[in-house]
Amino acid sequence: MNPGATEPRLFLALDVDDVAHAERLAESLRDTGIGMKLGPRLMMREGRRLVALMAKHSPVFVDCKHFDIPSTMEAAVRTAFDTGAQYTTIHALAGPEALAKMATLEAELQRERPFRILCVTVLTSFSDNTLPFGLRDRNLERLVEGLADEAYASGLKSFVCSSREAARMRGLFPDAFLVTPGIRPAGSAIGDQIRVETPALAAKAGANALVVGRPILSASEPRVAAIAILNEFSQASIQR
């Protein structure tokens, strides 16, 4: 599965508590090519049924960031695939054994249909000063690069990283698929995100796709807000 125009350029983070609300949002964006990202907030409520329901409307990204022993991670990723997801996340911190197993699994599943295992490097809520114990003496950008390098060496080429690291990641891994969360249109509140950028700057940095939640969910017209972000990103991508 290679990066291309058929993949979503924007994922809406459905960080809501009401499945009916989530389905209305998905239905309203059905014709836009925007994907739906499902995290623990909804997955813990509805699980498998929710993935299948959303997959009727849009490409689904199950974002539970698996970080466990290799066999447990494999079972979780298979479940996401079996329920209809096209994307799911693991932590790059899982280590070389788990990453190698994930690369083998991704190749197997891609023989059936398009599917990506996205490696999360360092969450966008972290800064150099707030990294957890064991990582505090590391430079954040070098940590992102090191984790990505280990995953890439295992055969995984899809990553979640802040747009502030995307340019460096694009230079190191030219064929990687880069998804950038922490996206905020100019003037938007950043909330609990730290390493944030606008859609245009993320595009110029080399991102393939964005994840956006609150700026769309809190808009008076979510569809209008989502399309504006998508258009800004797509236009800047063409110009880079």
Query: Is the pLDDT score of 153 beyond 70?
Result: yes
* Cβ atoms 34, 24 nearer than 8 A: no
Predicted TM-score (pTM) of this structure:
0.90
Domains of the chain: 10-239 (3.20.20.70)
Q: What secondary structure does DSSP assign to the chain, as a single string?
A: ----TTS-SEEEE---S-HHHHHHHHHHTTTTT-EEEE-HHHHHHHTHHHHHHHHTTS-EEEEEEE-S-HHHHHHHHHHHHHTT-SEEEEEGGG-HHHHHHHHHHHHHHHTTS--EEEEE-S-TT--GGGPPTTTTTS-HHHHHHHHHHHHHHHT--EEE--HHHHHHHHHH-TT-EEEE--B--TT---TT-SS-B-HHHHHHHT-SEEEE-HHHHTSSSHHHHHHHHHHHHHHHHHH-
Confidence of residue 2 (pLDDT cuts 50, 70, 90): very low
Query: Is the pLDDT score of 215 beyond 60?
Result: yes
Query: Is the pLDDT score of 227 beyond 70?
Result: yes
What confidence score (pLDDT) does residue 176 get? Answer: 97
What confidence score (pLDDT) does residue 4 get? Answer: 42
Query: Is the pLDDT score of 1 beyond 70?
Result: no
Q: Is 65 a catalytic residue?
A: yes
What confidence score (pLDDT) does residue 134 get? Answer: 83
Percent of the chain with pLDDT over 70: 92
Question: How do residues 80-129 score in pLDDT, each as one tens digit?
Answer: 999 999 999 999 999 999 999 999 999 999 999 999 999 999 887 888 88
What confidence score (pLDDT) does residue 81 get? Answer: 96
Question: How do residues 166-200 score in pLDDT, each as one tens digit?
Answer: 999 999 999 999 999 988 776 555 554 545 578 99
Confidence of residue 5 (pLDDT cuts 50, 70, 90): very low
**Alpha carbon 227 to its chain's center:** 18
Q: What is the mean pLDDT of residues 53-67?
A: 93
What confidence score (pLDDT) does residue 124 get? Answer: 78
Q: Which of 65, 101, 157, 204 is catalytic?
A: 65
| Strand bridging mode 177-180 / 158-160 | parallel
Q: What is the mean pLDDT of residues 218-231?
A: 95
State the Cα–Cα distance between residues 178 and 89, nearest whole angstrom: 12
Q: What is the mean pLDDT of residues 60-89?
A: 96
Phi, psi dihedral angles at 143 (to 5 degrees): -65, -45
Mean pLDDT, the chain, integer: 90
